[in-house]
Structure formats: structure tokens, C-alpha cells
Amino acid sequence: MKTTLYLARHGQTTWNKVHRFQGQLDSKLTQVGQQQSEQLALHLAPQKIDLIVSSTLGRSVDSARICQQILNIPVTHVNELIERNLGPWQGQYIADIKSDKNYHEILHQFTEVSPPKGESAVSCGSRIYQALKEIANNHFNKNILVIFHGEALRCFLAKLGHNTSGNAYDLFDNGCLLPLTYLHDDECFQLAS
């Protein structure tokens, strides 16, 4: 038995456009972000998606709502899928944070280092892993669109052993899609080739 999870990043937001960290704060989808969400749904229409699951943050909720209107399927929201908590870096412009001595390790590597009062990549990756595993176990043999966040996606993939040296902005465009299979008998995730 397997469950297929189509992992997607929400559409572009006003803060994405100006390279401002959102983390667990929020900003509205741009017109481009709305179009990216529409394109995501249209691309997935042939896959017979059974359910849309999104983070509870507004940008993911709005992207999911757009996809729901096209795919005409239920949507549910899971708080554990929210973006990584970047502490006081949230709301700051990337250019203003890059000088921090831990910037590269925090946003390009998979370690326990975190912004002050924020969440480490390892903690975020484990949280997303558990949330996706629970979603898969609650929906055997289904096709599920999961809309959440770039940094959370980077941390999750690093937990699976797919380490990169890039940051989420470089790795995952808004509206990007990554198919993932959860193999129930083996209790493991497998990236589609």
C-alpha cells in the first residue's frame, strides 16, 4: 500500500517578491501567486487528487482555496505544516540578515542551530516528517496535494537525507511541485524519480 503526496510550495506573496522572511508571519498572495496556484491545480487535475491539505498560514490557505475551486475536492488544514519559526528574523529582509555569523548554517544546512528564539532545521524537519507521516497513514492509497512552505520543505528533505547547500529561495520556486510516495509496508518516504 502507498499514499502519494504532492508536496507544493504556496504561490508567491508580497514578501516573497521583496525577499523578506515570512517564517510564521504572513503576507498576501500576489497576482502571480494566484496564477501559480491555478497552474498547480491544472497541472494536477489528471492525477485524480483526493484531498488538499494545507498549512494553517494564510498564504497556504489561500493557495489551497484556489486549487480547491479548480479541483473541486475537500481541503483540510494542519497546523504542524506551518513554516519554520525564524524568531526575530521573521519580517526582516534577507539582505539585512545575511551578515549574521550563523546565517549560512541556519538557512543552508541541516543542524540544531537556530535563530534566537527560533526553530532549528532539525526540529522543523522532524515536525514536518511526523505531520506528513500522519497524513499518509490517515489516507491509505490516496493522492493528496500538500501545500506548505519552502524552508519547511528544505528541512523535511534534509531529514530524508537529501541535503543541499542552497537555501529555500534558491531551491524551491513558488508553486513548485514535488511528488513523494509513502510506502506503508516499509513505513518510509520515497521521492519520485
Of all residues in the chain, the percent with pLDDT exceeding 70 is 99
* 3 state SS for 55-74: CCCHHHHHHHHHHHHHHCCC
pLDDT confidence bin for 139, thresholds 50/70/90: very high
Work out the average pLDDT over 136-155. 97
What pLDDT score was predicted for residue 164?
79
Phi, psi of 25, deg, nearest 5: -85, -175
- Exposed e or buried b per residue across 108-147, where buried means at least 16 C-beta atoms within 10 angstroms of its C-beta: bbbeeebbeebbbbbebbebbbebbbebbeebeebbbbbb
- Which one from 19, 38, 43, 83 is the annotated catalytic residue? 83
Strand, coil or helix: 127: helix
Grid coordinates representing 184 are: 506503508
Which residues does the annotation place in the binding site? 9-16, 59
Of all residues in the chain, the percent with pLDDT exceeding 90 is 93
CA 188 to the chain's CA centroid: 19
Mean pLDDT of the chain: 96
- Going along the chain from its start, the domains and CATH numbers come out as 2-191 (3.40.50.1240)
Assess contact for 168 and 153: CB atoms under 8 A: yes
What pLDDT score was predicted for residue 193?
62
Which residues does the annotation place in the binding site for substrate? 9-16, 59
pLDDT at 41 over 70: yes
pLDDT at 110 over 90: yes
| 112 annotated active-site | no
Assess contact for 105 and 113: CB atoms under 8 A: yes
CA distance 56 to 92: 21
Digit-coded pLDDT (tens) for 17-36: 999 999 999 999 999 999 99
| 119 annotated active-site | no
Q: What is the pTM of this model?
A: 0.96
